[in-house]
Amino acid sequence: MTRRDVVLVVDDTPGTLGVLNEVLEDAGYTVLMAQSAAAAMLVVQRVRPDIILIDAVMPGMDGFEACRRMKRSPALAAVPIVFMTGLTDSEDVVRGLEAGGVDYVTKPLQLAEVVARIRVHLAGARRTRSAQAALDTAGRFLLATDTFGDLMWATPQAAELLAEVEGADVACPWVVDWLAEAGERVPGQVAAAMGEQRLLQFVYVGRMAPDEVLFRIMETRSSTEESRLRERLGLTAREAEVLLWVGHGKDTRDIAEILGLSPRTVQKHLETIYTKLGVENRAAAAAIAIRTSS
């Protein structure tokens, strides 16, 4: 059975909710409804919709603020949000786009136009998800923040790692200071590591736009395992790092990317490690690493 795309409709007017529910159901979508922005925030904690249609002006929390909060969540960062609004001034449109919306439709709603726009944005979101899933499969867990450290988007695996260490609302405030320390950074530099149970490393990829900073995220070694290798085998800190990743089955190129080294430098460390351990190949070194670090 083909999965139906899920549309979350947020509006404080019951009549608008009723009409959109009927039209979107007839168009083949599963419709979730919320009569306030606060209620919508509860819905997205339980279910990730494929697209969100939200009224810009509502009592209490308005649609703009709800959009900003949703976009801080890794799970919702790539979900398109379309505003419904009677506000047509340019500054109001800009406000919606700056909050994280991808489009807006004006009230009174032209229902055929609403359905068409939803269809277009869902198709774009599917292509984005496919590309991000492909990156994850290739081991490229990527995320982008703005220059204030707020999450802009993340691949699915990167989003899971972030959520585990940062919770539902993700911000990386260290980005501001890190970028300012030495001006423009060089690709490959390690930005930060965070998390108590899991150590995450952020490798700077570059700026995709003036306000979009791209990082590759990966789990780094356990400091406890590294310390055991260093102390028990008489290795330097860098040699212990290299050997630890050998024990985890990583090849020379992978280790180079993880540690921000060249493959040639990693190979030189490996040659020294083989000599210190009295072994001749990677397999024997890996066996010692596993036995020693466990």
Report whether 269 contacts 229 (CB < 8 A): no
Report helix, strand or coil for 123: helix
pLDDT given at position 7: 95
Q: How many CA atoms lie within 13 A of 205 on its CB side?
A: 15
pLDDT given at position 168: 42
Q: Give the list of residues 6+ apart from residue 70 with CB closer than 8 angstroms, or none.
A: 41, 44, 52, 76, 79, 81, 100
- Encoded tokens for 225: 């395992």
Q: In a structure prediction context, what are the per-residue pLDDT tens digits for the chain, which is 294 residues long?
A: 567 899 999 999 999 999 999 999 999 999 999 999 999 999 998 998 999 999 998 999 999 999 999 988 877 888 999 999 887 777 777 888 888 899 989 888 999 999 999 999 998 888 777 666 666 656 678 888 888 888 888 888 787 777 666 554 556 777 877 777 756 677 777 776 665 455 677 888 888 777 888 888 876 655 577 778 888 888 887 888 888 888 888 888 888 877 767 889 899 999 999 999 999 899 999 999 888 876
- Encoded tokens for 241: 């790092």
Ordered by where they begin, the domains of the chain are: 6-135 (3.40.50.2300), 140-219 (3.30.450), 223-293 (1.10.10.10)
Least Cα distance to 277 among 291, 266, 263 occurs for 291
Least Cα distance to 17 among 32, 37, 4 occurs for 32
- Encoded tokens for 236: 């330097």
